[in-house]
Chains A and B, each alone.
Chain A
Amino acid sequence: MKNILIGVSCALSLQLAAPASTTGGTPDLFALRVGSAETITQGTIPHAVILIEHGKIVMIGQDLEIERGIPVIDRPDWVAMPGLVNCYSRAGMTSSGSNGTVPSTMASTELYPNQPVYGDLLDLGITTLGLYPPGNGIPGQAIAIRTSGSTLDEMLLSDGVYLKMLMRSNPSSKKMIRDAFEKADEYGEDVVKAREKWEKEVEKWEKEQKKSKDKDKKEEGKAAAGGDAEEDPGPGEFVEPAPDGIAGPFLSLRSKELSAMISIRKAGDYLHLLDALGEEEFDWCLRVPLRTDIDLYEIKDQLGEDKRTVVVEPRLTLMPWTMRERNIPDELSRAGANVVFVPNEDDMNNQKDWRLHVGHVVKRGMDYQAALRAMTLGPAEVLGLGERLGSLDAGKDANIIFFSGDPLQPTSKLEMVMIDGEFVSEEVVR
Chain B
Amino acid sequence: MQLLKKRFLTPVFALASAAILAAPIFSASLASEDEAEEEPDTYLAVIGGDIYTGTGEVLRSATLLSKNGKIEQIGYDLYLPEGTKELDARGLRVYPGLVALSATTRLSQGTFAAGLDFHEFKPHADNEGICGDCGKDLEVIVPPALDPGEYSTEHLAVEGLKSDFDDSYDPYNGFLVMALGNGITTVQQSNTAIKLRRGRIDDVTMSDKTMTSFSWSGSNPSGKADLRDKFRAATNYLVEFRRWEELVKKDKELKEPSQKGIDSRALEVLQGRSMAKFNANSADDLLGIARLAQTNKFRPVIGGCVEGWIVAEELGRAGAYAIVTPRTRSDRTETLTRESGSSIENAAILHAAGVQVAVVPADTSIDMGGISGRDLLHLPIEAGFAVRGGMSDKAALESITIVPARLLGIDHRVGTLEVGKDADLVLTDGDILHYQTFVQYTVVGGEQVYDKQEEVFYAHIRPRAEVAVDAGEEVTEEVTEEVTPASTEE
Interface residues of A, Cβ cutoff 8 Å to B: 90, 93-97, 99-100, 134-137, 166, 168-174, 176, 263, 265-268, 271-272, 274-275, 277-279, 289, 291, 293, 295, 298-299, 305, 319-324, 345-347
A268-B201, A272-B201 as given contacts; A291 in contact with B129, CB under 8 Å: yes
Given contacts A99-B119, A275-B201, A291-B129, contact A174 B167 (CB under 8 A): yes
The one of A100, A134, A136, A319 in contact with B456, judged by C-beta atoms closer than 8 angstroms, is: A319
Instruction: With A95-B125, A96-B125, A268-B172 as known contacts, state yes or no: A136 contacts B112, CB within 8 Å.
Output: no
A170-B168, A272-B201 as given contacts; A279 in contact with B3, CB under 8 Å: no
Is residue B232 within 8 Å, beta carbon to beta carbon, of the partner chain? Answer: no
The answer to whether B114 and A137 touch across the interface, beta carbons within 8 angstroms, is: no
Indicate whether A295 sits within 8 Å of B173 (C-beta atoms), given known contacts A170-B115, A266-B114, A321-B457.
yes
What are 29 pairs between A and B in contact, CB < 8 Å? Answer: A99-B122, A134-B125, A134-B126, A135-B122, A136-B119, A136-B121, A136-B122, A169-B114, A170-B115, A170-B117, A171-B167, A171-B168, A172-B118, A263-B128, A265-B112, A266-B110, A266-B172, A268-B110, A268-B114, A268-B170, A268-B171, A272-B169, A295-B172, A298-B172, A299-B172, A321-B457, A323-B489, A324-B456, A346-B127
**CB neighbors of A among B93-142 (8 A):** 109-112, 114-119, 121-123, 125-129, 132, 139
Q: How many residues of B contact A (CB 8 A)?
A: 39
How far, in whole Å, are A391 and B139 apart by their CA atoms in the complex?
37
Going nearest first, the 7 A-B pairs with the smallest beta carbon separation are A268-B170, A171-B167, A134-B125, A172-B118, A298-B172, A173-B118, A267-B172
Select A170's contact among B111, B118, B457, beta carbons within 8 Å: B118
Q: For B110, what are the chain A residues with a Cβ–Cβ distance below 8 Å?
A: 169, 266, 268
**Whose C-beta in chain B lies nearest to the C-beta of A167?**
B118
Query: Do A321 and B174 touch across chains, with their CB atoms under 8 A apart?
Result: yes
Q: Using an 8 Å CB-CB cutoff, how does the interface string of B409-447 with A read, 1 for contact, 0 for none?
A: 000000000000000000000000000000000000000
Taking A168-B114, A170-B116 as known contacts, 12 extra A-B pairs with beta carbons closer than 8 A to each other, sorted by chain A number, are A90-B126, A135-B122, A169-B170, A170-B114, A170-B117, A174-B167, A266-B173, A272-B201, A274-B2, A289-B129, A291-B112, A299-B172
Is A271 a contact partner of B456 (Cβ separation < 8 A)? no
CA gap between A169 and B204 in the complex, in Å: 14
Contacts of A170 in B (CB 8 A): 114-118, 164, 167-168
A279 and B2 in contact (CB under 8 A), knowing A97-B132, A272-B201?
yes
Contact B125 A97 (CB under 8 A): yes
Give CA–CA (A135, B124) in the complex, Å: 8
User: A171 — nearest CB in chain B belongs to which residue?
Assistant: B167
A110 to chain B, nearest CB (A): 11
The CA of A293 and the CA of B199, in the complex, are separated in Å by: 17
B27 within 8 A of A: no
Give Cα distance in the complex from A166 to B164, angstroms. Answer: 19
Cross-chain contact of B199 among A166, A176, A275, A298 (Cβ < 8 A): A298
CA distance A279 to B164 in the complex (A): 22
Chain B residue numbers with a CB within 8 Å of A168 are 114, 116, 118
CB nearest neighbor in A for B109? A169
Check A274/B6 contact, CB under 8 A, given A169-B169, A171-B164: yes
Within the complex, the shortest CB–CB distance from B457 to chain A, in Å, comes to 7
Which parts of B1-41 form the interface with A (CB within 8 Å)?
A: 2-3, 6, 10
Report the Cα distance A271→B7, complex, angstroms.
11
Q: Once bound together, how far apart are the Cα atoms of A168 and B109, in whole Å?
A: 11
Interface contact tally, CB-CB below 8 A? 115
Question: In the complex, A136→B174 CA distance in Å?
Answer: 27
A173 to chain B minimum Cβ distance, whole angstroms, is 4
Q: Which residues, 167 to 184 on B, are CB-close (under 8 Å) to A?
A: 167-174
| B contact residues around A265 at 8 Å (CB) | 112
In angstroms, how far is the closest chain B Cβ from the Cβ of A66?
Answer: 46
| Across-interface contacts of A176 in B (CB, < 8 A) | 118
How many whole Å from B445's CB to the nearest CB in chain A? 15
Q: Which residues of A are found within 8 Å of B123, using beta-carbon distances? A: 97, 136
> Judging by beta carbons under 8 Å apart, are A271 and B3 in contact?
yes
Asked whether B200 is an interface residue with its Cβ less than 8 Å from the other chain, the reply is yes
B153 CB → nearest A CB, Å: 14
* Smallest CB separation, B470 vs chain A (Å): 34
B170 and A266 contacting across the interface, CB-CB below 8 Å: yes
A9 CB → nearest B CB, Å: 41
Distance in angstroms between the alpha carbons of A266 and B456 in the assembled complex: 19
Contacts of B174 in A (CB 8 A): 295, 320-321
Question: What is the chain B residue whose CB lies nearest that of A279?
Answer: B2
What residue in chain B is nearest A297 (Cβ atoms)? B172
Residue in chain A with minimal CB distance to B198: A298
Chain A nearest Cβ from B260, distance in angstroms: 34
* Docked-complex contact B118 and A97, CB < 8 angstroms: no
Minimum CB–CB distance for A147 against chain B, Å? 18
In the bound assembly, the distance between CA atoms of A279 and B3 in angstroms comes to 10
**Cα–Cα, bound, A74→B169 (Å):** 60
Query: What residue of chain B has the Cβ atom nearest to residue A173's Cβ?
Result: B118
Q: How far is the CA of A321 from the CA of B167 in the complex (A)?
A: 25
Query: Contacting A321 at CB < 8 Å: which of B168, B456, B489?
Result: B456
Q: How far is the CA of A295 from the CA of B176 in the complex (A)?
A: 13
Q: Which residues of A contact B139 (CB under 8 A)?
A: 291
B170 contacts which chain A residues (CB < 8 A)?
Answer: 169, 266, 268
Q: A137's contact among B3, B6, B119, by CB below 8 Å, is which?
A: B119
- B129 near A172 with CB under 8 A, answer no
Instruction: Verify A289–B116 contact, CB threshold 8 A.
Output: no
| Residue from A97, A100, A172, A268 having most chain B Cβ neighbours under 10 A | A268
Q: How far is the CB of A360 from chain B (nearest CB, A)?
A: 20
Question: Among A94, A95, A275, A324, which residue has the most Cβ atoms of chain B within 10 A?
Answer: A275
For the complex, give the distance between the alpha carbons of A111 and B489 in Å.
Answer: 51
Contacts of B167 on A, CB cut-off 8 Å? 169-171, 174, 272
State how many angstroms separate the Cβ of A28 from the closest Cβ of chain B: 41
A99 to B456, CA, bound (A): 39
From 253 to 298 in chain B, residues with beta carbon under 8 angstroms from any chain A beta carbon are none
CB-CB under 8 A from B173, the residues of chain A are: 266, 268, 295
> Which residues of chain B have C-beta atoms less than 8 A from A345's C-beta?
127
Determine whether the beta carbon of A271 is less than 8 Å from that of B201.
Answer: yes
Question: Could you tell me the distance in whole angstroms from the C-beta of A195 to the nearest C-beta in chain B?
Answer: 31
* Whole-angstrom distance between the Cβ of A345 and the nearest chain B Cβ: 7
Given contacts A169-B170, A298-B199, A322-B456, contact A275 B2 (CB under 8 A): yes
B117 touches A172 (CB 8 A): yes
Complexed CA–CA distance, A271 and B118 (Å): 17
Measured CA separation A100–B118 after assembly (Å): 10
| Nearest neighbor of A276 in chain B, beta-carbon distance | B167
Contact A289 B128 (CB under 8 A): yes
Nearest residue, chain A, Cβ from B10: A305
Q: Is A96 a contact partner of B132 (Cβ separation < 8 A)? A: yes
A268 and B164 within 8 A (CB): no
